[in-house]
Structure 1
Amino acid sequence: MERRGKKYQEVAKKIEKNKVYSLAEGLKLATETNPAKFDASVEVHVKLGVDPRQADQNIRTTVVLPNGTGKNVKVAVFAPEDMHESAKKAGADIVGDETFLKQLDKEELNFDVLVATPAYMPKLGKYARLLGPRGLMPNPKAGTVAVDVAKAVEEAKAGKVEYRVDKQAIVHLSVGKVSFGEEKLSENAKAFFDSLAAQKPSSLKGAYVKSVNISTSQGPNIKIENPIA
């Protein structure tokens, strides 16, 4: 704590060290303990009792946050030319076919989400090492491999986000910005937890959720009661 800035130490005093808060209390505290001068993201971190090495426990899916993420999501579409116009109307920021591949050749990744048609996926194979580690490779589970690219674009723009368990069996997800306020953050968080509950593997023995924590991007950690029954 001594190594933290004065602002961090000041806001951290609002959090009782060993107390486990309700979701509503935690979200309220998160909005009050943002030490940054910018509108920080409010992040949820869930430690699960799964083994990510097991195929049926390697959780990866999407959820539509009802109030969006608070971020301007830049969406790129890699699809045949006859789909370009509808993709643009749906809000795509970058649309292309062969010209788009030339951008990838130059490692120009000026987008947050990449949508591709199933037929165009093989063409992205050579870029797996570029896109994969950055979470940009289109995936059917994420809804980014789609026949209806316009719909996929609309969903991405509206707040559809992907989450997945990492090697430490933790799921991390931003549920909005501090400026959203408690009500909108709560609606987003509940949508996420409902989605996560539905992903519980049938083969799992023992506790599904081990711990839940909330914090802003640079703020102190807040322990939360398990909201998943």
Structure 2
Amino acid sequence: MASPARYCPSCLSHTSPSTLLRRPHASNAFITHQQIRTAAQSQNAQKYKRKDQPASQKRKKQRTTFLEPDMREAIQFPLVDAMRYLRAAEVGRPPTSSKYEIHLRLRTLKNGPVVRNRLRLPHPVKTDLRICVIAPPDSAAAQAALAAGASLVGEESVFDAVKAGTIEFDRCICHQDSLPKLAKAGVARILGPRQLMPSAKTGTVVKDVAASVREMVGASEYRERLGVVRMAIGQLGFTPEEVQRNIRAFVEGVKRDFAGLSDRISKEIHEVVLSSTNGPGLSLSGELRGVGSVATKDVGMA
């Protein structure tokens, strides 16, 4: 008769009751700590086994580029037809109250640098810009700026008006000699959010303020946001030829901005969309007139 199995006394405290009830084999009469620990870990692994998440709940990999619609499936319009549809959406409005706007959808990275610049179109859209020049009021630069079309010139008087909340200008230029006073005036927190703070990066801190004023009158600014560059391209009363020349100048200006970027940064124009103040966005085919389009002289208010 085989002798009863013996257990190590120090192992009994770590052994579960279910293990003691089973009669071990003669060759495994003694149970080690490592065997008990392995058995406990396997039981816990089965008990708390993590279930695989369904495919719909798995986190998708983030895109590094913006969405690019397939232009082969898009409905595109010649410029004349697009202007006719947009003018129908603006029926009853004065030709100068509504404007055409161009949207350039870019093929670019989300975290890449953005393009930003100022452009004077062949046919300016807004010619009543109020330009402020920060320069000593009794200097020759101030007198030349007033002669060029500036509406407000000065230093302390401009700073006091800005701090009081009176901002009666649409653009602001600073003379190089007045830059230290501008930095100490404490108006950056007021002009900055309104994109009126002069800076060398945007070309609004200059030495020849008169030339900058003449260039800025009738110029428009644009900035890339979320892979799209937008800018007003014409008034509702513009002819198709005038709008076409403005679009061509705008596209060429944006391409020059692309050329000024690093060689490692790739930006391309993916789509050109024309819209109006109250109208939809229509993708342009690049043609002035298509088959069946009316004559450009017949494009009028609907």
* TM-score over 0.5 for the pair: yes
2:133 aligned residue (72, 77, 90): 77
- Alignment-derived partner of residue 210 in structure 1: 270
Alpha-carbon offset, residue 50 of structure 1: 2.6
* Unmatched 5+ stretches in structure 2: 1-72, 288-302
C-alpha distance in structure 2 between counterparts of 1:141 and 1:28, whole Å: 40
1:148-163 alignment runs, 5 A limit: 148-157=208-217, 159-163=218-222
Work out whether residues 77 and 283 of structure 2, in 8 Å CA contact, stay in contact via their aligned partners in 1: yes
Distance 1:203-1:135 versus aligned 2 partners, 3 A rule: same
1:68 aligned residue (124, 127, 131): 124
Alpha-carbon offset, residue 111 of structure 1: 0.9
Is the counterpart of residue 19 in structure 1 residue 75 in structure 2?
A: yes
Work out whether residues 60 and 141 of structure 1, in 8 Å CA contact, stay in contact via their aligned partners in 2: no
- Alignment-derived partner of residue 147 in structure 1: 207
| RMSD of aligned Cα (Å) | 2.4
- Pick the structure with greater CA Rg: 2
Alpha-carbon offset, residue 44 of structure 1: 0.8
C-alpha distance in structure 2 between counterparts of 1:85 and 1:147, whole Å: 14
Number of residue equivalences: 206
- Alignment-derived partner of residue 149 in structure 2: 91
TM-score, normalised with respect to structure 2:
0.61
1:128-147 alignment runs, 5 A limit: 128-147=188-207
Is the counterpart of residue 112 in structure 1 residue 173 in structure 2?
A: no
- Alignment-derived partner of residue 248 in structure 2: 190
Distance 1:122-1:30 versus aligned 2 partners, 3 A rule: farther
Distance 1:23-1:30 versus aligned 2 partners, 3 A rule: same
- Alignment-derived partner of residue 59 in structure 2: none
TM-score, normalised with respect to structure 1:
0.79
Instruction: Determine which structure has greater relative contact order: mean sequence separation of CA pairs < 8 Å that are 6+ residues apart, divided by chain length.
Output: 1
Alpha-carbon offset, residue 32 of structure 1: 4.5
Q: C-alpha deviations, 1:41-93, integer Å up to 9, x for none?
A: 11111222234643xx3211221111112341111111123022111110111
Work out whether residues 212 and 223 of structure 1, in 8 Å CA contact, stay in contact via their aligned partners in 2: yes
C-alpha distance in structure 2 between counterparts of 1:78 and 1:22, whole Å: 45
Distance 1:174-1:77 versus aligned 2 partners, 3 A rule: same
